[in-house]
């Protein structure tokens, strides 16, 4: 089993205070996020589950997937969810040059804008680095481009092929609280666990009086 913190350590949040890890709220709100889509095999199902609970979420889209599936991308927006930049090709900040990373991020932003329906008027400055990997220099450059870098404080582990669906559910149920930003993936790799976990998370927290909101900063 891979090791990674399900709950983001306080030290990490302290070391990178310019990144958004969670929200301070007085209401019982949770912020579900979905990375790596949109794809036809998963994203429409996610939208259906969210609609069942009138839940809003934030989708950090890969630009290349948006180009391939613009109809699904626009369905996300039509359902009232937020969109965010996840780079054009899901690039790893620790493995490419700074120039390549920034240009790939800008290209994704252009793709998000160019694939909007004429009736849509959605803009985004939300950015999530693939793999959660970023450097201080890249963070500064992105923020100078007016991006707000959205991280998380609960990592579901739905991407982890060695993790059971039951453990994935426990990860979310045990660590999520008001103001939490929770990471899921609308990807083929995560789909099996997502079909088990997402409906149960929506039901569990709805029964406790929570609502699910999109990120709009």
Name the residues annotated as catalytic.
35, 185
CA distances from 168 to 85, 106, 135, 182 (A): 25, 33, 28, 12
Return the biggest CA–CA distance within the chain. Answer: 47
- Tell me the two tokens of residue 195: 């079909």
Residue 31 CA, chain-centre distance (Å), reads: 9
Alpha-carbon span 106 to 192, nearest angstrom? 32
Alpha-carbon span 42 to 40, nearest angstrom? 6
Question: Helix 43-52 vs helix 188-207: angle between axes, to the nearest 10 degrees?
Answer: 0
- How far apart are the two ends of the chain, measured CA to CA in Å? 35
Residue 205 CA, chain-centre distance (Å), reads: 19
Which position has the token pair 């923020």?
143
């Amino acid at each position: 089993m891979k090791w990674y913190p399900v709950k983001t350590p306080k030290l990490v949040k302290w070391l990178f205070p310019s990144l958004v890890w969670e929200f301070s709220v007085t209401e019982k709100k949770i912020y579900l996020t979905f990375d790596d889509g949109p794809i036809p095999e998963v994203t429409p199902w996610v939208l259906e589950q969210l609609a069942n609970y009138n839940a809003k979420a934030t989708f950090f889209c890969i630009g290349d997937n948006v180009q391939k599936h613009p109809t699904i991308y626009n369905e996300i927006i039509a359902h009232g969810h937020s969109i965010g930049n996840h780079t054009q090709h899901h690039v790893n900040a620790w493995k490419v040059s700074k120039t390549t990373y920034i240009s790939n991020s800008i290209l994704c932003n252009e793709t998000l804008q160019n694939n909007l329906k004429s009736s849509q008027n959605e803009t985004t400055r939300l950015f999530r680095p693939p793999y959660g990997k970023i450097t201080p220099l890249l963070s500064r450059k992105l923020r100078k481009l007016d991006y707000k870098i959205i991280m998380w404080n609960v990592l579901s582990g739905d991407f982890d092929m060695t993790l059971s669906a039951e453990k994935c559910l426990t990860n979310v149920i045990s660590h999520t609280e008001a103001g939490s930003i929770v990471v899921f993936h609308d990807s083929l790799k995560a789909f099996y666990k997502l079909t088990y976990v997402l409906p149960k998370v929506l039901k569990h927290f709805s029964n406790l009086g929570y609502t699910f909101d999109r990120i709009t900063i």
